[in-house]
Chains A and B, each alone.
Chain A
Amino acid sequence: MTLESQQGLLTLFAEQRASLNGYFLRRVTHAWDAQDLLQELYLRLLRSVRQRSEDIRNPEAYLYTVAANLLKEHAVMQQRAPLGSDGLDEVIERLATPCDAGADVDRQLRRQRLSQLLGQLSPKCRAVLVMHYRDELGYRQIGEQLGISFHMVKKYIVKALTVCRQGMARYD
């Protein structure tokens, strides 16, 4: 283990534990498990990327695969029923859209808060975000409707995601 990755692990817990913990917590029962999984996921990603970064065609899918394998392995270790029934695709689907994984007690509350944050966005920001997520319009289409450039649309989405995420981080 390199010095960097050790340092990295520590920073993870110093600064960022809540969100990633929350992410895993809905899949595993104990808080301890979640901490372990977070660390493990990072270490594995680090290792595999070092070894074969050229082969990774879709980094995001790859990330979810590593996470899915880790969760499956964990389920075996804990002698719990593995996630879902079978097929990595399903697991990835669940990881990629975490909020849809199972009945979630705090999901309702989280979305309520998010909805409040959405209301606080500037009209333009909110229009871009809603058109993108609800109406599934592409950046170009949104740009044409609002008379702004493709890049500005993306910029608005990044801004909206940032505002929402920062607002939600207070609750995580």
Chain B
Amino acid sequence: MTDSTHAPRRTVSRRLTEQAAQWYLEQGEGLGEKSRAEFLRWLCASPDHLAEYLAIARLHGDLKAVTLAESASVAQLIALAQAEPSVVDLPLARAVRPAAPATEYIGAGPRRRVRLGLVAVLLGVALLSGAAMWRAAADRPLAYAATHTPRRVTLPDGSVVQLDRRSTIAVRFSARQRRIELLQGRALIDVGKDSTRPLLVQFGPNTLQDVGTVFGLSLGAHESTVTVLSGEVRVLRQLPSSANVSAPASSMPATGTLAILHGGQQAQMDAAGELTKLAAADLAQATAWLPDTIAFDHRTVAEVARRFDAYTSKPLRIEDPALAALRISGVFHARDSEAFLSYLQTLPGVHVRREADSIRVTRMASVGSEPGRL
């Protein structure tokens, strides 16, 4: 079933599909207690299993519809089937059953033993416990990962995180605190403002504390790097081991500050979490992995402007609320905020002011009375 024209995409393993299909059938007949536990173990063994199970569920729905269009009667189907040269095991041929695919999934798949009398469909119970789970899950950590391509996620507090390929973060927000942990790879975090809940970012042995900034993190085996694009970030020594992101938020770090970084600065730490380098950052290099274009459809000017902040040490500040709320669509080169600014300046009354640490975009109060400026 391989298709060489689709070489880049990895095909789903046949064995996994067989397992999912088998479990799907077993599930339809009702599982005994032992099989239930086995099925749950299989399902939770890997996200692949879950994905494949759901794919089979979808296929199941499609097959119902597709087979309805099949015009051959049962009698015709049987006739065709009987005419098929019997290469696979019929009951009589069982003794000489070929070893090939039939035995492949024994052991890995569901038990053959079927208890038809034991159809335990307690949907109501499942529903109730599911609802309870939902509430309990509200303050549990969320995880985000990117594999083949960088991705962009928006967290519940409005923070925007760009994840590089093969990067993972865990996120835990409580009423008093926001915590993000970089588990592997690289991330660029544009922190949502929330003065009541400080943000702590853990990466390797270090922690960052920050309020309303944009910074990049890179976690390597031997060293990690923090690059601040705009705002201010405090680099701390490690938190007590009990206070990682997956543990309940308990105390603020009582450890010393290693460095305070400002826009355009970069710090490097070794595997032990000690500061090894503090220097001006090469922003182009630090953001080289980010996408080259910013594409948006019917997004507010404020939202689009913010996306440019991931690339520059001079964040764009849209100061006119009406302009900030204006919805626009388009594609811009991410590393060229000038094109975006030029676009904004074509709007009536819009004015751009370049300051040391930011670019302010304002609009004249009396827009209507100034026709034909430019």
A158 to B82, CA, bound (A): 20
What A residues does B148 contact at CB under 8 A?
A: 13-14
Report whether B183 and A77 are in contact in the complex, using a CB–CB cutoff of 8 Å.
Answer: no
What A residues does B129 contact at CB under 8 A?
A: 48, 52, 55-56, 62, 65
Minimum CB–CB distance for A104 against chain B, Å? 10
Q: What are 6 sample pairs from A and B whose C-beta atoms fall under 8 A apart?
A: A123-B81, A124-B81, A124-B84, A129-B63, A154-B25, A158-B18
Question: How many A-B Cβ pairs are below 8 Å?
Answer: 283
B88 at the interface (CB under 8 A from A): yes
**How many residues on the A side are at the interface (Cβ–Cβ under 8 A)?**
102
B21-35 vs A, Cβ < 8 Å mask (1 yes, 0 no): 110110100010000
Report whether A16 and B48 are in contact in the complex, using a CB–CB cutoff of 8 Å.
Answer: yes
A14 to B166, CA, bound (A): 9
B130 at the interface (CB under 8 A from A): yes
Report whether B123 and A58 are in contact in the complex, using a CB–CB cutoff of 8 Å.
Answer: yes
What A residues does B239 contact at CB under 8 A?
A: none
Across the interface, name the chain B residue whose C-beta is closest to A9: B145
A49-B44, A164-B63 provided; 19 other pairs, C-beta below 8 A? A13-B146, A16-B12, A16-B47, A19-B54, A20-B51, A39-B47, A57-B126, A59-B39, A65-B129, A65-B130, A68-B130, A96-B57, A123-B84, A124-B84, A133-B67, A147-B90, A161-B59, A162-B21, A170-B6
A75 at the interface (CB under 8 A from B): no
Report whether A111 and B153 are in contact in the complex, using a CB–CB cutoff of 8 Å.
Answer: no
Report whether B90 and A169 are in contact in the complex, using a CB–CB cutoff of 8 Å.
Answer: no
A11 to B264, CA, bound (A): 35
Which positions 332-367 of chain B face chain A at CB distance < 8 Å? none
Report whether B143 and A6 are in contact in the complex, using a CB–CB cutoff of 8 Å.
Answer: yes
Report whether A118 and B12 are in contact in the complex, using a CB–CB cutoff of 8 Å.
Answer: no
Report whether A158 and B21 are in contact in the complex, using a CB–CB cutoff of 8 Å.
Answer: yes
What A residues does B46 contact at CB under 8 A?
A: 8, 11-12
A28 at the interface (CB under 8 A from B): no
A29-43 vs B, Cβ < 8 Å mask (1 yes, 0 no): 000100110111111
With A6-B183, A58-B121, A157-B25: A73-B134 Cβ-Cβ less than 8 Å? yes
Considering residues A77, A89, A127, A135, which has the most beta carbons from chain B within 10 angstroms of its beta carbon?
A127
What A residues does B55 contact at CB under 8 A?
A: 19-20, 23, 165, 169, 172
With A23-B55, A134-B68: A14-B147 Cβ-Cβ less than 8 Å? yes
**How many residues on the B side are at the interface (Cβ–Cβ under 8 A)?**
96
A82 at the interface (CB under 8 A from B): no
B196 at the interface (CB under 8 A from A): no
Across the interface, name the chain A residue whose C-beta is closest to B129: A55
A135-158 vs B, Cβ < 8 Å mask (1 yes, 0 no): 101000000011111011011011
What B residues does A129 contact at CB under 8 A?
A: 63, 67
Contact of B48 among A12, A157, A167 (CB under 8 A): A12
Considering residues A17, A59, A63, A73, which has the most beta carbons from chain B within 10 angstroms of its beta carbon?
A59
Report whether A63 and B47 are in contact in the complex, using a CB–CB cutoff of 8 Å.
Answer: no
Report whether B61 and A99 are in contact in the complex, using a CB–CB cutoff of 8 Å.
Answer: yes
Report whether B91 and A1 are in contact in the complex, using a CB–CB cutoff of 8 Å.
Answer: no
A129 to B151, CA, bound (A): 40
- Interface of B, helix, strand, loop or mixed by DSSP: helix
Minimum CB–CB distance for B282 against chain A, Å? 29
A66 to B129, CA, bound (A): 9
With A69-B134, A118-B67: A56-B48 Cβ-Cβ less than 8 Å? no
What B residues does A61 contact at CB under 8 A?
A: 121, 123, 126-127
What B residues does A152 contact at CB under 8 A?
A: 89-91
What B residues does A49 contact at CB under 8 A?
A: 40, 43-44
Which positions 51-101 of chain B face chain A at CB distance < 8 Å? 51-70, 72, 74, 77-78, 80-84, 88-91, 101
A152 to B63, CA, bound (A): 20
Report whether A147 and B21 are in contact in the complex, using a CB–CB cutoff of 8 Å.
Answer: no
With A11-B46, A19-B12, A49-B44: A161-B120 Cβ-Cβ less than 8 Å? no
Considering residues B40, B55, B63, B121, which has the most beta carbons from chain A within 10 angstroms of its beta carbon?
B63
What B residues does A15 contact at CB under 8 A?
A: 10, 12, 48
B175 at the interface (CB under 8 A from A): no
B1 at the interface (CB under 8 A from A): yes
B317 at the interface (CB under 8 A from A): no
Report whether A165 and B126 are in contact in the complex, using a CB–CB cutoff of 8 Å.
Answer: no
B281 at the interface (CB under 8 A from A): no
